[in-house]
Amino acid sequence: MGMIGQHLLNGLMQGTIYGLVAMGFTIFFGVMNVIKFSHGDVLTLGAFGGLVAVWAANALGLSVPLQFIVALCVAMALTAVVGAGISHFLIMPLRNAPPLNMLLMTMMVGTAIREAIRLFFPNGTNPQRFPELLPAGGFNIGPSFFRTDAIILIIAGAASIGAVYWIINHSKFGLAMRAVAEDTETARVMGINFGRIIPLTFALGSITAGFAGMIYALYYSEINYSMGLLLAVIGFTAAIVGGLGNIWGAIIGGYLFAGLQTFVVAAMPSMSDYKNVFAFVLIIVLITWRPTGLLAERGSERV
Amino acid sequence: MGTISKRGLAALAVASVLPLAFGSFSAAFAKDKVKIAFVGPLTGAISPHGIGGRNSAELAVKLMNAEPNTKYEYELVVLDDECKPNVGVQVVTKIASDRSIIAAIPHYCSATAIATVDIFNRFKMPMVVWAAVLPEITYAKKYPEVHRVSGILIGQNRIGAQFMKARGYKKFVSFADSTDYGKSMNKYFTQFTLENGNEILGSFSVPPDQQDLSAELTKIKELNPEVIYFGGLTPLGARLRTQMAKFGINAQLEGNSGIMGDAFVNAAGPELAEGTLTFFDSPPLSKMPGGKMFADAYKAAGYSEPPEAYGPFAYVATRLVMETIEKVGPDRAKVTADLGDVKDRPSIVGPVTFDDHGQNITPLTTSYVVQDGKWVVWEESEYVSGKRKLKNLP
């Protein structure tokens, strides 16, 4: 049991990725009441965009830190554009349609993105090796081994969560976003440009996916076309458990899910194959106990 | 410019008509066409192995068709099972229900092969497995249609356990995928390792597509084994090796036929792959009776992908099927009956003998180690002379 620190670090790393994905779900739902199932595939797209950017930067002879910055910018820009595009061309026109139509539509968009990567990316069906751009190695504290790249990524993930929180709660754009979320009609009467705020909100949510995609790629050094699928299910679950529409809820949900997975492997190594089963079963219990999530959406009046 | 292109056009027209004319002329004497099917993973993470096998099977057909005295002209129908049991069932049902296809050379992945053997039996389609090594494929039931040129994974685990004991290793951790293949690997690894008086500190089983191994590796690091045994296929094996390094785990990696091939070294990188051990049911190509012929013909055919470890076996299986059809004619029942009698049949990998379950009993298990990015026979490596050392040697 001397490895508690190590397990904690593993859980933190995974929780950061899950939390970032869950945050996207919760932003979309909070503002537009949309469950956007293409979120995981946007994440995959971001990671592949980052990979192409690294290849290009490498071909241009840029240094590794520059390659890293280029990849990160490309991944985030690409997901922002795709997220805004999906909302402008697909979600906005459908906003008065039944929620089920919207759900189906986003699932289909996700499938289209996933299959497009598989078919059009060279050798897209195969896992792709992602270059290691962060310093390798690490250090030992007691029996625990701390990977330098993992620590950088956890800090970066936490910082990005903080940045999104600040944007939503302290910037003018965030104010407009919250106004739209509260009451769309009144917000429009007050002069908020609805047609611009919604795509921007989706861009913001999708950037978090692009960021999570890059964290994933850098940590595992491997990406594949279907990686977004399970991440989306886990991210969505985390958002629901935390309370859909509540940012902190999403993050707590993400860490909770990662914690459950890690706990199974740490406590019962021979059962590691069942860690997702175990985690999802506990989540079902939690949802039954608190149907609106651990932290319900603030000011929620949906009865 | 204008005249040239006109002339060029005319030449093109003549060129395209000529073979047509001769084609129809020679068709009068043409041999009957016989279709056989190759099935393997052509897309997905295991595809390097499937493509190597496909090329080798294709090569066998090409060489056979080039021989002047054959009775039939062979056509290879190639299908992709994606290394997935459900896809394997679909494509095998498709070929098995197509009566124009006489026989099949199926499967690299054991989990896929074990799912399709019943279909071959139900449709009475003779087949020769080219690579999957799960014992149950031939031994679970006694299907006359099912044969296999590749070995079974019991032998490699027995030899592997003896080899590790001889080096003095005592503490092991088993890490296998959760498919039937990985479970079987773990079962025989456990049996033979314990028989040799060694200790297994823990056994881990993960789905073959699991990305994050950090929780399992943390536990393994805590257990601190001398050796990590891996029972699975190349992608998971390469991922395990990469993440072991990231966690600073300095254990010796003991593999099996699932990671044998260039694909593992390419995926893990030559530095990390260095010193990885594996036990594989075949001597290297250069030591096979027809190894040089195969290597030269493969090169001459201009394939850009390597044949991988099981390419020669795909060649042998395809050749065996065609030889049988030459002998008894394109009839499924007759081919099945004749394949049952294969004994000491010469092939490029050595003589092939099927036992009463259709299992080739002649494969020769050989120990390999990665040295400078290549799989080298243990006895010929610098590890034997002591110039290089395995990890964690007691």
- Taking the CA of residue A151 and the nearest CA in chain B, the distance in Å comes to 13
Alpha-carbon torsion (A287, A290, A291, A296), positive or negative: negative
Q: Touching check for A44 and chain B: CB below 8 Å?
A: no
Alpha-carbon torsion (A276, A282, A288, A292), positive or negative: negative
Which pair of tokens denotes residue A137?
């190695």
Answer yes or no: do B205 and A275 touch at CB < 8 A: no
* This prediction's pTM: 0.79
Instruction: Indicate whether B142 and B196 sit together in one domain.
Output: no
What's the confidence (pLDDT) of residue A84?
95
For range A219-231, the mean pLDDT: 89
Order of strands, sheet of B146-148, starting from the edge strand that comes earlier in the sequence: B72-80, B32-40, B101-106, B127-129, B146-148
Instruction: Indicate whether B272 and B181 sit together in one domain.
Output: yes
Answer yes or no: do A270 and B202 touch at CB < 8 A: yes
Instruction: Indicate whether B125 and B65 sit together in one domain.
Output: yes
- From residue B263, alpha-carbon distances to A152, A244, B45, B65, B276 in Å are 31, 44, 10, 30, 13
Q: Is the pLDDT of residue B26 over 50?
A: no
* pLDDT tens track for B31-43: 899 999 999 999 8
Task: Determine, yes or no, domain membership for B91.
Answer: yes
What is the domain extent for residue B290? 32-152+285-363
CA B318, CA B104: separation in Å to the nearest integer? Answer: 8
- Taking the CA of residue B227 and the nearest CA in chain A, the distance in Å comes to 17
CA A33, CA B45: separation in Å to the nearest integer? Answer: 38
What's the confidence (pLDDT) of residue B29?
61
Complex ipTM value: 0.72
Instruction: Indicate whether B127 and B198 sit together in one domain.
Output: no
Give me the DSSP letters along B237-275.
HHHHHHHHHHTT--PEEE--GGG-SHHHHHHH-HHHHTT
At B3, the pLDDT band (50, 70, 90 cuts) reads very low
Instruction: Indicate whether B181 and B314 sit together in one domain.
Output: no
CB-CB contact of B365 with B332 (8 Å): no
Q: What are phi and psi of B269, to 5 degrees?
A: 90, 145
- Taking the CA of residue B114 and the nearest CA in chain A, the distance in Å comes to 21
Q: Give the closest residue to B107 by CA, choosing from B35, B38, B153, B178.
A: B38
Task: Determine, yes or no, domain membership for B168.
Answer: yes
Nearest chain B residue to A259 by CA: give it: B215
CA B321, CA B102: separation in Å to the nearest integer? Answer: 9
At A171, the pLDDT band (50, 70, 90 cuts) reads very high
Instruction: Indicate whether B206 and B323 sit together in one domain.
Output: no
Task: Determine, yes or no, domain membership for B216.
Answer: yes
Q: What are B34's strand-pairing partners?
A: B74
Give me the residue from A10, A222, A273 closest to B207, CB to CB. Answer: A273
Task: Determine, yes or no, domain membership for B165.
Answer: yes
How many residues belong to chain A?
A: 303
For B31-62, give the secondary structure using H, E and C: CEEEEEEEEECCCCCCHHHHHHHHHHHHHHHH
Give me the DSSP letters along B347-371.
-TTS-B-B-TTSBB-----EEEEEE
Instruction: Indicate whether B234 and B110 sit together in one domain.
Output: no
- Taking the CA of residue B200 and the nearest CA in chain A, the distance in Å comes to 12
What's the confidence (pLDDT) of residue B154?
93
For residue A153, the chain B residues in CB contact (below 8 A) are: none
What does DSSP say about strands B374-377 and B366-371: parallel, antiparallel, or unpaired? antiparallel
Q: What is the CATH number of domain A4-136+145-289?
A: 1.10.3470
Considering only CB atoms, which residues of chain B are within 8 Å of chain A?
Answer: 43-45, 47, 178, 202-207, 211-212, 214-216, 218-219, 221-222, 235, 239, 242-243, 246-248, 267
- Our count of domains for chain B comes to 2
* pLDDT tens track for B62-95: 999 999 989 999 999 999 999 999 999 999 999 9
Answer yes or no: do A145 and B219 touch at CB < 8 A: no
Q: Which secondary structure element, helix H or strand E, spans residue B80, and what is its range?
A: strand B72-80
Q: Is the pLDDT of residue B9 over 60?
A: no
What's the confidence (pLDDT) of residue B1?
42
Sequence-distant (6+) residues with CB within 8 A of B170 are B198, B199, B226, B394
Instruction: Indicate whether B107 and B212 sit together in one domain.
Output: no
Task: Determine, yes or no, domain membership for B348.
Answer: yes
CATH number of the domain within which B78 lies: 3.40.50.2300
For range A43-54, the mean pLDDT: 96
Instruction: Indicate whether B148 and B289 sit together in one domain.
Output: yes
* pLDDT tens track for A83-138: 999 999 998 888 888 888 888 999 999 999 999 998 898 877 777 888 888 887 77
Instruction: Indicate whether B186 and B330 sit together in one domain.
Output: no
Instruction: Indicate whether B299 and B334 sit together in one domain.
Output: yes
Instruction: Indicate whether B276 and B300 sit together in one domain.
Output: no
Q: Which residue has the higher pLDDT, B373 or B14?
A: B373
3-state secondary structure of B125: coil
Q: Is the pLDDT of residue B27 over 80?
A: no
- Taking the CA of residue B180 and the nearest CA in chain A, the distance in Å comes to 13
Using a 10 angstrom Cβ sphere, with 0-12 exposed, 13-18 middle and 19 or more buried, the burial of residue B128 is buried
CA A82, CA A80: separation in Å to the nearest integer? Answer: 6
Q: Give the closest residue to B115 by CA, choosing from B93, B98, B99, B95.
A: B93
Which pair of tokens denotes residue A86?
């999906």
Answer yes or no: do A265 and B248 touch at CB < 8 A: no
Q: Which A residues, 238 through 267, put their C-beta within 8 Å of a C-beta on chain B? A: 261-262, 264-266
For range B368-375, the mean pLDDT: 95
* pLDDT tens track for B226-256: 999 999 999 999 999 988 988 889 999 999 9
Sketch the domain layout of chain A as residue ranges.
4-136+145-289
At B219, the pLDDT band (50, 70, 90 cuts) reads confident
Q: Give the closest residue to A293 by CA, choosing from A261, A253, A264, A255.
A: A253
